[in-house]
Amino acid sequence: MPLYLLNKPFRVLTRFTRPDARATLADHVPVAGVYPCGRLDYDSEGLLLLTDDGRLQAGITDPRHALEKTYWAQVEGAPVEEQLARLRAGVALADGMTRPAGAVAIEAPAGLWPRLPPIRYRARIPTAWLELRLREGRNRQVRRMTAAVGLPTLRLVRAAVGPLSVAGLAPGACREASAAELAALWAALARLSGGRSARSASRLPAPARS
Protein backbone atom coordinates (compact mmCIF):
# COMPACT_ATOMS: atom_id res chain seq x y z
CA MET A 1 0.00 0.00 0.00
CA PRO A 2 2.47 2.69 -1.07
CA LEU A 3 1.62 6.37 -1.02
CA TYR A 4 3.63 8.79 -3.13
CA LEU A 5 3.97 12.57 -2.97
CA LEU A 6 4.50 14.42 -6.25
CA ASN A 7 5.18 18.12 -6.73
CA LYS A 8 3.18 18.47 -9.94
CA PRO A 9 4.71 21.13 -12.17
CA PHE A 10 2.80 23.81 -14.03
CA ARG A 11 1.21 22.60 -17.26
CA VAL A 12 1.16 18.89 -16.49
CA LEU A 13 -2.06 16.89 -16.90
CA THR A 14 -3.24 14.88 -13.89
CA ARG A 15 -3.45 11.65 -15.86
CA PHE A 16 -1.08 8.97 -17.15
CA THR A 17 -2.34 8.55 -20.72
CA ARG A 18 -1.25 11.17 -23.23
CA PRO A 19 -4.16 12.65 -25.22
CA ASP A 20 -1.91 15.12 -27.06
CA ALA A 21 1.57 16.63 -26.81
CA ARG A 22 1.11 17.94 -23.26
CA ALA A 23 3.11 16.51 -20.34
CA THR A 24 1.38 13.99 -18.04
CA LEU A 25 2.05 12.21 -14.76
CA ALA A 26 3.87 9.52 -16.74
CA ASP A 27 6.67 12.03 -17.28
CA HIS A 28 7.23 12.46 -13.52
CA VAL A 29 6.02 9.37 -11.62
CA PRO A 30 8.67 6.61 -11.74
CA VAL A 31 6.44 3.81 -10.38
CA ALA A 32 3.65 1.79 -11.98
CA GLY A 33 0.28 0.80 -10.55
CA VAL A 34 -0.55 4.00 -8.66
CA TYR A 35 -3.22 6.56 -9.45
CA PRO A 36 -3.87 10.15 -8.31
CA CYS A 37 -5.96 10.93 -5.24
CA GLY A 38 -8.09 13.62 -6.81
CA ARG A 39 -6.99 16.08 -9.42
CA LEU A 40 -4.88 19.21 -9.75
CA ASP A 41 -5.57 21.48 -12.69
CA TYR A 42 -3.22 21.61 -15.67
CA ASP A 43 -2.32 25.21 -14.83
CA SER A 44 -1.90 24.60 -11.07
CA GLU A 45 1.17 23.32 -9.24
CA GLY A 46 2.05 21.55 -6.04
CA LEU A 47 1.22 18.50 -3.99
CA LEU A 48 -0.52 15.54 -5.59
CA LEU A 49 -0.87 12.23 -3.74
CA LEU A 50 -0.83 8.89 -5.57
CA THR A 51 -1.56 5.41 -4.27
CA ASP A 52 -2.58 1.89 -5.28
CA ASP A 53 -5.05 1.61 -2.36
CA GLY A 54 -8.66 2.34 -3.28
CA ARG A 55 -9.67 2.80 0.35
CA LEU A 56 -7.02 5.42 0.93
CA GLN A 57 -7.85 7.18 -2.32
CA ALA A 58 -11.52 7.29 -1.34
CA GLY A 59 -10.72 8.61 2.12
CA ILE A 60 -8.68 11.46 0.67
CA THR A 61 -11.22 12.44 -1.98
CA ASP A 62 -14.58 11.63 -0.31
CA PRO A 63 -16.32 14.98 0.42
CA ARG A 64 -17.86 13.44 3.57
CA HIS A 65 -14.41 13.32 5.13
CA ALA A 66 -13.65 16.95 4.18
CA LEU A 67 -9.89 16.51 4.37
CA GLU A 68 -8.35 19.99 4.48
CA LYS A 69 -6.20 21.10 1.56
CA THR A 70 -3.96 24.16 1.75
CA TYR A 71 -3.32 26.40 -1.25
CA TRP A 72 -1.10 29.38 -1.93
CA ALA A 73 -2.66 31.75 -4.44
CA GLN A 74 -0.85 34.67 -6.00
CA VAL A 75 -3.62 37.12 -6.83
CA GLU A 76 -3.98 40.31 -8.76
CA GLY A 77 -4.67 43.25 -6.51
CA ALA A 78 -4.18 44.11 -2.84
CA PRO A 79 -6.58 42.14 -0.62
CA VAL A 80 -8.52 43.97 2.06
CA GLU A 81 -10.18 42.47 5.13
CA GLU A 82 -13.65 42.59 3.56
CA GLN A 83 -12.50 40.34 0.71
CA LEU A 84 -10.82 37.91 3.10
CA ALA A 85 -13.95 37.84 5.27
CA ARG A 86 -16.05 36.89 2.24
CA LEU A 87 -13.71 33.99 1.46
CA ARG A 88 -13.88 32.82 5.09
CA ALA A 89 -17.67 32.99 5.18
CA GLY A 90 -18.23 31.18 1.88
CA VAL A 91 -18.64 32.51 -1.63
CA ALA A 92 -21.69 32.20 -3.89
CA LEU A 93 -20.59 30.46 -7.10
CA ALA A 94 -22.63 29.25 -10.06
CA ASP A 95 -22.82 25.77 -8.50
CA GLY A 96 -23.80 27.02 -5.05
CA MET A 97 -22.31 28.48 -1.90
CA THR A 98 -18.87 27.23 -0.93
CA ARG A 99 -18.07 26.03 2.54
CA PRO A 100 -16.33 28.50 4.86
CA ALA A 101 -12.59 28.51 4.21
CA GLY A 102 -9.48 29.62 5.99
CA ALA A 103 -8.16 32.72 4.22
CA VAL A 104 -5.25 34.94 5.23
CA ALA A 105 -2.88 37.26 3.40
CA ILE A 106 0.73 36.02 3.54
CA GLU A 107 4.14 37.02 2.31
CA ALA A 108 5.48 35.19 -0.74
CA PRO A 109 6.07 31.62 0.54
CA ALA A 110 9.69 31.08 1.55
CA GLY A 111 11.58 28.75 -0.75
CA LEU A 112 8.88 28.71 -3.42
CA TRP A 113 10.31 27.59 -6.74
CA PRO A 114 10.03 29.89 -9.79
CA ARG A 115 7.25 29.09 -12.22
CA LEU A 116 8.19 28.45 -15.83
CA PRO A 117 6.98 30.43 -17.62
CA PRO A 118 6.50 33.14 -14.97
CA ILE A 119 3.24 35.02 -14.53
CA ARG A 120 2.76 38.19 -16.56
CA TYR A 121 3.40 41.21 -14.36
CA ARG A 122 1.78 44.57 -15.01
CA ALA A 123 3.64 47.53 -13.55
CA ARG A 124 0.56 49.41 -12.32
CA ILE A 125 -1.26 46.43 -10.80
CA PRO A 126 0.08 44.95 -7.56
CA THR A 127 0.01 41.26 -6.71
CA ALA A 128 -0.29 39.55 -3.34
CA TRP A 129 -0.29 36.05 -1.84
CA LEU A 130 -3.15 34.35 -0.01
CA GLU A 131 -3.19 31.10 1.94
CA LEU A 132 -6.51 29.30 1.56
CA ARG A 133 -7.59 26.19 3.46
CA LEU A 134 -10.51 24.35 1.87
CA ARG A 135 -12.49 21.27 2.87
CA GLU A 136 -14.09 20.69 -0.52
CA GLY A 137 -12.78 20.33 -4.05
CA ARG A 138 -15.01 21.77 -6.75
CA ASN A 139 -13.74 22.33 -10.26
CA ARG A 140 -11.31 25.28 -10.28
CA GLN A 141 -12.72 26.33 -6.92
CA VAL A 142 -9.89 28.52 -5.64
CA ARG A 143 -9.71 30.48 -8.87
CA ARG A 144 -13.46 30.99 -8.93
CA MET A 145 -13.58 32.04 -5.27
CA THR A 146 -10.82 34.63 -5.54
CA ALA A 147 -12.26 36.00 -8.79
CA ALA A 148 -15.68 36.34 -7.13
CA VAL A 149 -14.23 38.65 -4.47
CA GLY A 150 -12.24 40.71 -6.98
CA LEU A 151 -8.84 39.03 -6.65
CA PRO A 152 -8.14 36.99 -9.80
CA THR A 153 -5.63 34.19 -9.27
CA LEU A 154 -2.44 34.44 -11.30
CA ARG A 155 -0.61 31.44 -9.83
CA LEU A 156 -1.92 28.58 -7.72
CA VAL A 157 0.12 26.11 -5.65
CA ARG A 158 -1.29 23.30 -3.50
CA ALA A 159 0.94 23.33 -0.44
CA ALA A 160 -0.56 20.53 1.63
CA VAL A 161 -3.14 17.75 1.72
CA GLY A 162 -4.14 17.10 5.32
CA PRO A 163 -0.92 16.62 7.31
CA LEU A 164 1.23 16.04 4.21
CA SER A 165 3.22 18.93 2.74
CA VAL A 166 4.98 19.71 -0.52
CA ALA A 167 7.92 21.14 1.46
CA GLY A 168 11.26 19.80 0.28
CA LEU A 169 9.97 18.51 -3.06
CA ALA A 170 11.31 20.18 -6.19
CA PRO A 171 8.92 20.59 -9.15
CA GLY A 172 8.52 17.22 -10.84
CA ALA A 173 10.03 15.31 -7.91
CA CYS A 174 8.21 12.26 -6.55
CA ARG A 175 8.92 10.28 -3.38
CA GLU A 176 7.28 7.60 -1.26
CA ALA A 177 5.62 8.75 1.95
CA SER A 178 7.32 7.75 5.18
CA ALA A 179 5.62 5.41 7.64
CA ALA A 180 5.05 8.40 9.94
CA GLU A 181 3.43 10.44 7.16
CA LEU A 182 1.16 7.56 6.19
CA ALA A 183 0.14 7.01 9.81
CA ALA A 184 -0.59 10.73 10.24
CA LEU A 185 -2.80 10.70 7.15
CA TRP A 186 -4.77 7.64 8.31
CA ALA A 187 -5.20 9.26 11.73
CA ALA A 188 -6.52 12.49 10.17
CA LEU A 189 -9.00 10.52 8.06
CA ALA A 190 -10.14 8.53 11.09
CA ARG A 191 -10.85 11.76 13.00
CA LEU A 192 -12.83 13.16 10.09
CA SER A 193 -14.88 9.96 9.71
CA GLY A 194 -16.18 10.28 13.26
CA GLY A 195 -13.55 8.23 14.98
CA ARG A 196 -14.05 5.12 12.86
CA SER A 197 -11.00 3.54 11.27
CA ALA A 198 -10.39 5.30 7.97
CA ARG A 199 -9.39 1.92 6.56
CA SER A 200 -12.94 0.68 7.00
CA ALA A 201 -14.70 3.97 6.25
CA SER A 202 -14.74 3.23 2.53
CA ARG A 203 -14.22 0.09 0.50
CA LEU A 204 -14.31 1.46 -3.00
CA PRO A 205 -12.20 -0.39 -5.57
CA ALA A 206 -9.21 1.34 -7.07
CA PRO A 207 -10.14 3.35 -10.19
CA ALA A 208 -8.42 2.62 -13.48
CA ARG A 209 -5.45 4.74 -14.43
CA SER A 210 -6.40 7.29 -17.08
Angle 81-89/141-148 helices, nearest 10 degrees? Answer: 130
Mark whether 41 is an active-site residue. Answer: yes
The rounded distance, in Å, linking the Cα atoms of 55 and 34 is 13
CB neighbour list of residue 123: distance below 8 Å, 6 or more residues apart:
none
Query: Nearest 5°: phi and psi at 124?
Result: -90, 0
Annotated catalytic residue, options 20, 41, 43, 62: 41
CA distance linking residue 7 with residue 170, whole number of Å: 6
Catalytic residues: 41
